[in-house]
Amino acid sequence: MDYISVHELKQKLESGTLFTLVDVREPWEHEEFNVGGQLIPVGEIMNRAWELEDHKNDEVVVYCRSGARSGMAQALLQAQGFSNVRNLVGGVLAWKEAFGS
């Protein structure tokens, strides 16, 4: 499994590095706070993986509240042939702890 820290992610976002960011939480969680990712709840990831098809060989970073659901999403996407999926360690909780909300 490949991981990314909140500090690495923040650096990527600030530098304009091209990658795909996916929030796998529920819509209400995304509305409450997010770091800019496309919303695809983990329960819908298998049915909506086609939305990310153009990024199958690109870096895809998935995040959730704590890293557990995004870990599941990471495994599901990898099973669908996505070659470079990274899970945000600690999720939004770690982001808020490091940078505030």
Assigned token pair, 91: 């999720």
Residue 84 near residue 57 (C-beta atoms within 8 A): yes
At residue 57, φ and ψ (nearest 5 deg) are: -105, 5
CA distance 90 to 16: 22
Residue 67 near residue 75 (C-beta atoms within 8 A): no
Q: Which residues are catalytic?
A: 64
